[in-house]
Amino acid sequence: MKVFTDPKKLQKWCAARKLAGRKIALVPTMGYLHEGHLSLIQKAKAKRADEIVVSVFVNPVQFCPGEDYEKYPRDEKADLAKCRAAGATAVFFPTPKNMYLDRHSVYVCEEDLSKGLCGARRPGHFRGVCTVVAKLFNLTHPDFAVFGQKDYQQVQVIRRMVRDLNFDLDIVMAPIVREPSGLARSSRNTYLSAEEKEKALAISRGLRALKPNSKLSTLNSQLKSAGLRIDYVECVDAQTLEPRKKVAKGCCVLVAAYDGKTRLIDNILI
């Protein structure tokens, strides 16, 4: 497994692999890898990628002021071992300084799908996501990139970016991976106490119970009585992310809620 820190070297290697006719998959992550990330690598394998490039980068530009950029969990050594074991053929560990050079001034903005949901609560978040993902696409020229459904809005925003900027690649969405309790896997779960983990289950339990015509007010009450502070509970069209009044086929119901100080997200496609 190759390990890169220098963007130019990664780019050169990927270009050579591509010229050699190899099929490249990109798996962008912020590291502190868990079963969810590893499922993305599995997905890349299942789709017969010859090279699986995992990027591990806590992207400062997608964090808003006051968010957890500094304390976001990091463990490079464990991540390397996990990538190797999962079958990655290259890992990219850049530094903020070599990803954002002096006077960095170019950003990619999505102005439709990123307006609501997490985009409304985290100003600049999707600008940061689109920018770093565009950079990773240009560095690796993948045949496809794998993202997890847990960040459902992110997947839709990136699909739109691929379409609108004519990136020559496919976006593959992999299903949410859950702990045996039902809690969606997240690097941020490490912030949760045992008690908070227990509370968090109301989210996955509430989402799983949804059916066409279910009332969101029920889900709202369930989350509140579990002791969570709701950021949003919304039902949207799964493609356009436009609000839908009724839970129905073709919708996605998304939740963001604070469990103590930790913001958790989860969703379900109806």
- The first and second tokens of residue 80, run together, are 């390397």
For every residue of 76-87, DSSP letters joined together read HHHHHHHHHHHT
CB nearer to a second copy: give 138 or 193.
Answer: 138
Annotated catalytic residue, options 34, 37, 104, 125: 37
141 is catalytic: no
CA 78, 81, 84: angle at the middle one, nearest 5? 150
Q: Which residue has the tokens 């017969």?
A: 48
Other beta carbons less than 10 A from residue 223's beta carbon: 22
CB nearer to a second copy: give 40 or 61.
Answer: 61
Identify the three-state secondary structure at position 63.
coil
* Least distance between a second copy and beta carbon 141 (Å): 8
- The first and second tokens of residue 95, run together, are 């530094």
* Least distance between a second copy and beta carbon 140 (Å): 10
CB nearer to a second copy: give 108 or 172.
Answer: 108
CB nearer to a second copy: give 210 or 241.
Answer: 241
Amino acid letter for position 2? K
* Least distance between a second copy and beta carbon 57 (Å): 13
* Least distance between a second copy and beta carbon 211 (Å): 30
Alpha-carbon distances, residue 173 vs 129, 155, 226, 245 (angstroms): 16, 7, 30, 25
CB nearer to a second copy: give 221 or 240.
Answer: 240
* Least distance between a second copy and beta carbon 116 (Å): 13
Identify the three-state secondary structure at position 237.
strand
- The first and second tokens of residue 22, run together, are 């190899």
End-to-end CA distance of the chain: 39
- The dihedral through the CA atoms of 192, 198, 202, 204 has a sign that is positive
Residues lying near a second copy in the complex (CB under 8 A): 7, 11, 15, 18-19, 21, 100-101, 103-113, 130-131, 134-135, 138-139, 141, 160-161, 163-168, 240
Catalytic residues: 37
